[in-house]
């Protein structure tokens, strides 16, 4: 996400709030029956890219997955989920 690169200087909580809105909005628009795999893929890619740019904030440019998961445990992002269920014919 280009947004992560351009807003690298913003505080963690501000980035978290924005990305939470992005995930909820994406799921609200694309979260229809049969699209669950792509919704989960989008969520995974967003987390991977955010981790990459958070890692570039520090001196040592390293953010292990274990530390990133600990950050997400304290400040979880919304889960990717199907919002609109439609009956298939």
pLDDT digits (tens, 9 = 90+) for 17-63: 999 999 999 999 998 988 989 999 999 999 999 999 999 987 777 88
R_g (Cα) of the chain, nearest Å? 15
What's the token pair of residue 63?
């953010």
Q: Are 16 and 77 in contact (CB under 8 A)?
A: yes
Residues 82, 84: Cα–Cα separation, whole Å: 6
Query: What is the residue whose two structure tokens read 């997955």?
Result: 65
pLDDT computed for residue 88 by the predictor: 63
* Res. 89: pLDDT tops 70: no
Q: What would the mean pLDDT of 63-68 be, rounded to a whole number? A: 93
pLDDT computed for residue 57 by the predictor: 87
Residues 27, 6: Cα–Cα separation, whole Å: 23
């Amino acid at each position: 996400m280009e947004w992560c690169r351009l807003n690298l200087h913003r505080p963690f909580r501000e980035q978290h709030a924005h990305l939470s809105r992005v995930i909820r909005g994406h799921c609200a628009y694309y979260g229809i029956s049969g699209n669950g795999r792509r919704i989960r893929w989008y969520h995974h890619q967003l987390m991977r890219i955010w981790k990459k740019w958070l890692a570039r904030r520090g001196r040592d440019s390293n953010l292990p997955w274990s530390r990133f998961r600990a950050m997400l445990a304290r400040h979880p992002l919304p889960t990717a989920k199907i919002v609109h269920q439609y009956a298939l014919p």
